[in-house]
Amino acid sequence: MLGMLVYIGAWLCALATTILPQWLTKSTALLPVESYDLGLWETCVVQDIGGMECRSYDSLLGLSSHLKLARIFMCTSLAVGMLGILVATPGLSLIHSCSDCGGSQTKRTLTIAGGGLGMISGVLCLIPVCYTAHLAVTHFFDEKVPDVVPRWEFGDALFCGWVAGFLLIVAGLIMVTSCTCLQVEPQPVPQRRYQAKSTDGNLRKRFEYV
């Protein structure tokens, strides 16, 4: 149950990372009242007075390669994560299912499969987030660019993506280990046999207790 709760929260965090436009942010010294946000689906201009204007990208073919890959990885991560939640839900102890198709062994298999899909989803989420952060760091410390030129910096969505990726991996590990390492098989009840003799010595009765 703990793994499933962390799983759902991490998936929602990954969804927020995909939607938020604050993957990278940039502010200029010439116009400090405005800052720019770059996301997977749109770019935004934010003003200090609280106004925000966003515009979607005009063409998919005009996007840079890293934005296209980031879209693909994040959408795949969400799809794999949702599939893992659907697979692991029947394996929860509170869900009375699979009673006629293998019992506890089937529920354990579903939980392990859901946890594995959760870890894959976390890795797929971390790849575009870490790569975008790597590009931002590389461009920020590029000596060929003059210091007066504004540079992109980390946005809130990147931190949200890191949290989502690590929590998805942690949730998957919790679900897998709870079914492999912490599962205790019930021990069979030992059988004992008792014999009792009648008091007259002529009749003998045997009683077997399990």
pLDDT digits (tens, 9 = 90+) for 171-190: 999 988 887 765 544 455 55
Label residue 141 by pLDDT band (50, 70, 90): confident
Beta bridge partners of 46: 35, 52
Whether the predicted pLDDT of 210 surpasses 50: no
* 4 touches 92 (CB < 8 A): yes
* Structural domains in the chain, sorted by start: 2-19+61-183 (1.20.140.150)
Q: What is the pTM of this model?
A: 0.76
Label residue 206 by pLDDT band (50, 70, 90): very low
> Would you give the distance in Å from CA 29 to the centre of its chain?
38
User: What integer is the mean pLDDT of 23-41?
Assistant: 78
The token duo for 61 is 């073919």
Contacts of residue 52, defined as CB under 8 A and 6 or more positions apart, other chains included, come to 44, 45, 46
For 118-140, write each residue's pLDDT tens digit: 999 999 999 999 999 998 888 87
Whether the predicted pLDDT of 12 surpasses 60: yes
Ranked by mean pLDDT, which of 27-41, 76-90, 140-154, 196-210 comes out on top? Answer: 76-90
